[in-house]
């Protein structure tokens, strides 16, 4: 406020000075290359001296020059009659000072009157301006307050909605957790029961092995005893024959005795020959098969557990053979039907295999590689959803590489009813598990989607995902998936992967 008042006073003084300066008379004199401007006093309002005259001549500090036409005597007389030029100059200065004093008094009065009225007007204008500004600021603050209140209300509503959704989700998770705990408890009890049954069977097996071992030892002892008896009787027969030749007189008695001995010897020989046949009978060489197709050709018509021997290996592997689907002869690589086996496992488990071939299981990547690398195999995938709908995907060529290549996938020749397009990942996709990430995604697909699979970039399929119960209606993206048949959330109740030679007929 003080700064505004100072500026106002300076401005008014400038205006007054300009007005007053414009009313003063100016006189301009050109002297050589220089120009001189003089503001002349207001002689019309003053009472000048009688001898004072305003001229347009330059003011001098020295007395005027004598005119050459006048005489000395006349100058002396005039100087005696009028004042000297110093006195005239002094009088002129005094008159000018007096005029300036009056002018300054007028200016002061004018400034005081104008400043007073200007200050009042400025104060009124300032008060009005400040009042309007305060009203406008108040209106803006009220508008902003209302807007902020509305925004806070919206945010509070959103927070309440999100909180409600989170509470509902938490309740769902709690219910699912309870069901899962019950399911785990039942599975634990079932595992304990099976473990007890397994222990009982092992004990029975050990008892049977001990009993049969003892019986075998007894039979070997009896065999040795019979051989000893046979040797003694043979020696006795020889003696009797010698006596028979030397003694013919007592032939009747000896013949009867010989007949009895012959009968005894014959019985002993029969028993010995039977024992020798039992002990010396050669064992038949066990026939081996390299896959279920050979078992089917050799006469195995029923689906079940069989042993096969891998190509260029002495390792016997228990597998499940499907002898019914599309002509049979299928060696099952993977099977799921009830979720009793956890498929979210480590690399080593998928390498060697897990589960039971008669139930849920993964045959093992090493075994699958050795089997499918021995010759060309076709792959058949059978699926069933919770409504009982079944579909299949068939591939004319299928094999996987060894562990050094991370069991890279190779498939070709798709056909089937599980989608118009193959849901398998591209050729060359590597196998990934939760502890060994070989996919082409920055994330870890085996962690997100669960299980071990050829994920590529988390791809459209995963038959080793979590097995969710049929009653679950929540969309989950880490379950069993075969995208081009049932989308991202396949509620499968059965999956089977099996192979047989591509030239099978």
In a domain, 354, yes or no: yes
- Compute the distance between CA of residue 459 and CA of residue 347 in angstroms, rounded to an integer: 19
The closest of 464, 460, 465, 459 to 441, measured between CA atoms, is: 459
Are residues 330 and 446 part of one domain?
A: yes
Are residues 309 and 253 part of one domain?
A: no
In a domain, 337, yes or no: yes
β-pair type (377-385, 361-362)? unpaired
Q: Which residues pair with 501 in a beta bridge?
A: 377
Q: φ and ψ at 501, to 5 degrees?
A: -55, 140
Are residues 412 and 487 part of one domain?
A: yes
Are residues 209 and 167 part of one domain?
A: yes
In a domain, 271, yes or no: no
- Say how many domains are in the chain: 2
In a domain, 183, yes or no: yes
Are residues 351 and 244 part of one domain?
A: no
Coil vs helix vs strand at 432: strand
- Compute the distance between CA of residue 148 and CA of residue 163 in angstroms, rounded to an integer: 22
The closest of 304, 406, 399, 296 to 351, measured between CA atoms, is: 406
pTM, entire model: 0.47
Q: Are 123 and 115 in contact (CB under 8 A)?
A: no
Are residues 493 and 382 part of one domain?
A: yes
In a domain, 242, yes or no: yes
Reading the block at residue 139, the tokens are 């209106």
Coil vs helix vs strand at 122: helix
CA angle centred on 155, ends 149 and 157, rounded to 5°: 105
Q: Are 111 and 16 in contact (CB under 8 A)?
A: yes
Predicted pLDDT of residue 246: 64
Last residue of a domain, one of 241, 258, 275: 258
Tokens 């069933």 belong to 384
Domain CATH code at residue 386: 3.90.215.10
Predicted pLDDT of residue 308: 94
Are residues 343 and 430 part of one domain?
A: yes
- Compute the distance between CA of residue 159 and CA of residue 164 in angstroms, rounded to an integer: 8
Predicted pLDDT of residue 271: 66
Are residues 228 and 308 part of one domain?
A: no
DSSP codes, 195-225: HHHHHHHHHHHHHHHHHHHHHHHHHHHHHHH
In a domain, 99, yes or no: no
Helix (H) or strand (E) holding 486: helix 483-486
- Compute the distance between CA of residue 309 and CA of residue 289 in angstroms, rounded to an integer: 6
* DSSP tag of 177: H
Are residues 131 and 183 part of one domain?
A: yes
DSSP codes, 178-193: HHHHHHHHHHHHHHHH
- Compute the distance between CA of residue 60 and CA of residue 468 in angstroms, rounded to an integer: 123
| Three-state secondary structure of 282-333 | CCCCCCCCCCHHHHHHCCCCCCEEEEEECCCCCCEEEEEEECCHHHCCEEEE
Q: Which residues pair with 39 in a beta bridge?
A: 26
How deeply is 200 buried, as exposed, middle or buried, from its count of CB atoms within 10 A (0-12, 13-18, 19+)? exposed
Last residue of a domain, one of 207, 242, 258: 258
Question: What is the number of alpha carbons within 13 Å of residue 428 lying toward its C-beta?
Answer: 1
In a domain, 263, yes or no: no
Q: Are 289 and 298 in contact (CB under 8 A)?
A: yes
Q: Are 443 and 461 in contact (CB under 8 A)?
A: no
Supply the range of the domain harboring residue 496.
292-501
Are residues 225 and 121 part of one domain?
A: yes
Reading the block at residue 321, the tokens are 């053979």
Are residues 324 and 238 part of one domain?
A: no
pLDDT in tens, the chain (505 residues): 555 555 556 666 565 555 555 555 555 666 666 776 655 555 455 554 444 444 444 444 445 554 455 445 555 555 555 567 778 878 888 888 888 888 888 887 887 777 777 777 888 888 888 888 888 888 888 888 888 888 888 888 888 888 888 889 888 888 888 888 888 988 888 888 888 888 888 888 888 888 878 888 888 887 888 777 777 777 777 777 666 666 655 555 565 666 667 667 666 766 676 666 555 544 455 678 999 999 999 998 999 999 999 888 888 899 999 999 999 999 999 999 999 999 999 999 999 999 999 999 999 999 999 999 999 999 999 999 888 899 999 999 999 999 999 999 999 999 999 988 999 988 999 999 999 999 888 888 998 889 999 998 888 899 999 888 776 666 677 888 898 888 776 677 899 999 999 998 7
- Compute the distance between CA of residue 366 and CA of residue 309 in angstroms, rounded to an integer: 14
- Compute the distance between CA of residue 211 and CA of residue 213 in angstroms, rounded to an integer: 5
In a domain, 53, yes or no: no
Q: φ and ψ at 410, to 5 degrees?
A: -140, 115
- Compute the distance between CA of residue 374 and CA of residue 184 in angstroms, rounded to an integer: 41
Are residues 443 and 491 part of one domain?
A: yes
- Compute the distance between CA of residue 412 and CA of residue 396 in angstroms, rounded to an integer: 6
């Amino acid at each position: 406020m003080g700064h505004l008042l100072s500026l106002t006073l300076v401005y008014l003084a400038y205006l007054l000075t300009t007005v007053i300066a414009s009313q003063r008379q100016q006189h301009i004199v050109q002297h050589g290359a220089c120009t001189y401007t003089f503001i002349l006093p207001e002689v019309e309002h003053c009472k000048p001296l009688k001898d004072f005259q305003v001229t347009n001549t330059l003011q001098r500090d020295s007395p005027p020059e004598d005119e050459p036409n006048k005489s000395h005597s006349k100058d002396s007389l005039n100087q005696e009659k009028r004042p000297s030029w110093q006195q005239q100059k002094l009088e002129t200065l005094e008159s000018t000072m007096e005029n300036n004093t009056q002018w300054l008094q007028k200016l002061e009065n004018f400034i005081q009157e104008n400043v007073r009225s200007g200050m009042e007007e400025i104060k009124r204008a300032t008060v009005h301006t400040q009042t309007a500004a305060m009203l406008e600021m108040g209106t803006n603050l009220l508008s902003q307050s209302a807007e902020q209140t509305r925004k806070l209300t919206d945010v509070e509503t959103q927070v309440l909605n999100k909180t409600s959704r989170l509470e509902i989700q938490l309740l769902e998770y709690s219910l699912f957790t309870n069901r899962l705990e019950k399911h785990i408890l039942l599975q634990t009890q079932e595992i304990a029961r099976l473990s007890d049954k397994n222990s009982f069977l092992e004990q029975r097996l050990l008892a049977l092995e001990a009993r049969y071992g003892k019986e075998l030892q007894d039979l070997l002892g009896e065999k040795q005893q019979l051989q000893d008896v046979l040797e003694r009787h043979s020696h006795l027969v020889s003696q009797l024959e010698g006596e028979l030749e030397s003694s013919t007189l007592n032939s009747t008695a000896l013949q009867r005795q010989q007949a009895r001995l012959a009968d005894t010897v014959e019985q002993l020989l029969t028993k010995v020959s039977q024992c020798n046949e039992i002990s010396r009978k050669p064992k038949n060489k066990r026939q081996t098969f390299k896959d279920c197709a050979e078992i089917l050709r050799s006469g195995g018509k029923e689906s079940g557990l069989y042993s096969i021997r891998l190509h260029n290996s002495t390792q016997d592997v228990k597998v499940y053979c499907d002898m019914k689907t599309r002509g049979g002869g299928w060696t099952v690589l993977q099977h799921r039907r009830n979720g009793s086996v956890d498929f979210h496992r480590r690399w080593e488990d998928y390498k060697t295999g897990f589960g039971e071939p008669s139930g849920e299981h993964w045959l093992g990547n090493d075994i699958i590689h050795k089997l499918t690398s021995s010759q060309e195999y076709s792959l058949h995938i059978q699926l069933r959803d919770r409504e009982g709908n079944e579909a299949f995907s068939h591939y004319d060529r299928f094999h996987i590489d060894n562990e050094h290549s991370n069991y890279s996938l190779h498939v070709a020749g798709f056909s089937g009813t599980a989608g118009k397009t193959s849901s398998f990942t591209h050729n060359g996709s590597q196998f990934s598990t939760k502890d060994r990430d070989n996919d082409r995604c920055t994330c870890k697909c085996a962690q997100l989607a669960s299980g071990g699979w050829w994920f590529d970039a988390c791809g459209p399929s995963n038959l080793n995902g979590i097995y969710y119960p049929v009653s679950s209606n929540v969309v989950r993206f880490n379950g069993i998936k075969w995208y081009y048949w049932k989308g991202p959330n396949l509620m499968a109740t059965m999956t089977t992967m099996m192979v047989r030679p591509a030239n099978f007929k």
